[in-house]
Amino acid sequence: MTYNETIEYLFNSTPLFQNVGKAAYKEGLANTLALDEYFGHPHTAFKTIHVAGTNGKGSTSHSLASVLQTAGYKVGLFTSPHLKDFRERIRINGEMISEEYVVDFVEKHRSFFEPLYPSFFELTTAMAFKYFADEKIDVAVIEVGLGGRLDCTNIITPVVSIITNISFDHVNLLGNTLEKIAGEKAGIIKHGIPVVIGETTPETRPVFEKKAKEVGTHLFFAEEADTQDVLFELGGNYQKKNLRTILCALNILKSEFNISEENIRKGLSTVCERTGLMGRWQTLNECPKTICDVGHNVGGFEYIVKQLAQQNYKTLRIVIGMVNDKDIHGVLTLLPKEAKYYFTRAKVARALMPEELQNAALEYGLHGNCYPSVTEAFKAAREEASSEDFIFIGGSCFVVAEAL
């Protein structure tokens, strides 16, 4: 198979969450453990850092990887979803996994994994762990796919676990209260492994404290930690909280790795260049100012809306599309009424139809037109914008991916 044929095979023969949502989520770790056994437990060949949470997982993971790379380590990075190329999910020192490795992995091992009928994420996780072991990395930063307790990354025993924050997302899978969601995320807390908690609420803090007591480990609350000011490349307002979490984690990692203050400064000021991170308050154009951001739930948009309010513009133009399992009404209540909206949809099966999003938006006094594709919506916004306007693109990772 060619690389493109292999990717089509992965997307079409394994349940892919971005297309089918809940149906792709396989509860339990049976497949993961079977794959891990078959490949000879590759995740035990290197040190790991485990990152869970509702928002900020990707930024935190990329930032930690950047600092460790700067300190001279060979660093694996496993994140999701990808924006442009599947290979973004699996990197070593910023370099994506090769097309050849992806093709060989599928061709050599499909006779074993096909009868298991694994999910896309189960198979991708196995591929990442095998690749990192084969390439003899020093450490991997592993981002949880969904939840934590039953996520297939949860077979690792990391040197530190991180839970960035808890807000409402994937409520159909993780629970409809902050306590329930926190309980699922707290599933990555393991005996004797230090845990950094980025943000807490009155509902979530007791959940983490109870779990830590049960398994006998220490919690470090980033909100209470003394952290120095450093230049952080990532520009979104929400990154200030992520930075506290990252610095708190690095403080713990200094006992495991040789990390200097200079490594931290250099690593955090060059995250995108070193690791290929995209879509975090990313500038696409200066005139008119055009920004995209992958924030896609209420927790993410609370920060985005505040940051939009700080911008100078004549007219704010928002290109937006969402997927059907998000809290659409929760996001719409936050959005500015004075903006001109361009309702659209990404090319994924879970994408909400633009007309449906437009009708929901009308209930909140948000007005705009519908466009059948992100390309057409973005084009219309640019054509109608003056040099003094501000264009924001978001609502879904998949909308941002197509804009990029």
Q: What is the pLDDT of residue 16?
A: 55
Residue 201 has pLDDT above 70, yes or no: yes
φ and ψ of 167, to 5 deg = -145, 180
Arch. (CATH architecture) of 3-275: 3-Layer(aba) Sandwich (3.40)
Judge whether 292 and 366 are in contact, CB under 8 Å: no
Phi, psi (deg, nearest 5) at residue 93:
45, 40
- Of the pLDDT bands very low, low, confident and very high (cuts 50, 70, 90), residue 4 is very high
Based on the number of CB atoms within 10 Å of its own CB, is 1 exposed (0-12), middle (13-18) or buried (19 or more)?
middle
3-275 against 282-403: fold identical: no
Tokens describing residue 365: 């006094």
Tens of pLDDT along 116-167? 989 899 999 999 999 999 999 999 999 998 878 889 999 999 999 999 998 7
Q: What is the pLDDT of residues 43-54, one digit of tens each?
A: 999 999 999 998
On the question of a cis peptide bond just before residue 81, with omega within 30 degrees of 0, the verdict is yes
pLDDT digits (tens, 9 = 90+) for 343-366: 999 998 889 999 999 999 999 999
DSSP conformation class of 150: T
What are the tens digits of pLDDT across the range 106-118? Answer: 999 999 999 998 9
- Cis check for the bond before 118: say yes or no (omega within 30 of 0): no
> Quick one: average pLDDT of 94-110?
97
Over residues 318-344, the mean pLDDT reads 93
How many other C-beta atoms lie within 10 A of the C-beta of residue 388?
12
Listed in sequence order, the residues at least 6 apart from 404 whose beta carbon sits closer than 8 Å to its beta carbon are 83, 84, 278, 279, 282, 284, 292
Kindly tell me if the per-residue pLDDT of 174 is higher than 80: no
Going by their DSSP bridges, the two strands 95-96 and 90-92 should be labelled as antiparallel
Q: Model confidence at 20, in pLDDT bands (50, 70, 90)?
A: very low
pTM: 0.90
The correct answer on CATH 2.60.120.10 for the domain covering 282-403 is: no
How far, rounded to the nearest angstrom, does the alpha carbon of residue 15 sit from its chain's CA centroid?
19
Sorted by where each begins, the domain ranges of the chain are: 3-275, 282-403
